[in-house]
Amino acid sequence: MIERQYDHPDKIYVQVEATFYPDGRIEPKSFLWDDGRRFDIDRVTDVRRAASLKAGGIGTRYTCKVLGRTAYLYREEDKWFMERR
């Protein structure tokens, strides 16, 4: 059985560049927003499992500093998504 995916306008799947460390940690470095702009992640300040009510999903949530602002990046098994602002 394969898990069915749900599409929602507030759930944006994004392309991510990340570093995979030998100890298994994954650190996202940048992401490609749906308008084609690439954003660098300056710092990851928190990593935990969390639910996104707005986008409708759960995953490992990376709290990222991007251009001085806070953005949440969620890793849902093998895909990454963000909430539309």
Partner 1 sequence: MSPKERVILHSDMNNFYASVECLHRPEIRGKAVVVGGDEEARHGIVLAKNYIAKKAGIKTAETLWQARIKCPGLIVVPPNYPLYLRYAKYAREIYECYTDQIEPFGLDEAWLDVSGNDGVMVADEIRQRIKAELGVTVSIGVSYNKIFAKLGSNIKKPDATTLVSRENYQAIAWPLPVGDLLYVGPSTQKKLYWQGVSTIGELAAMPVDCLQRLLGKVGCVLHAFANGLDQSPVARLSQESLIKSIGNSTTTPRDLVCDDDVRILLFVLCESVCARMREQGVLSRTVAITVRDSELFSVDRQAKLKAPSCISGEIADAAMQLFRQHYTWHQPIRSLGVRCTDLVPAGGLQQISFFDDEVNRQRREALERTVDSIRNRFGHSSVQRAAVWADQPLGSINPKGDHVIHPVGYFKDGMKA
Q: Do residues 56 and 6 touch, judged by C-beta distance below 8 A?
A: yes
Q: How many angstroms separate the CA atoms of 16 and 28, rounded?
A: 7
Q: How far is the CB of 56 from partner 1 (least distance, A)?
A: 5
Residues of span 35-54 touching partner 1 by CB under 8 A? 48-54
The CA-based diameter of the chain, rounded to the nearest angstrom, is 42
Q: Which is nearer to partner 1, 54 or 79 (CB)?
A: 54
Binding-site residue total for partner 1 (CB under 8 A)? 19
Structure tokens at 44: 């990851």
Residues that bind partner 1 (CB under 8 A): 1-4, 6, 8, 10, 48-58, 77
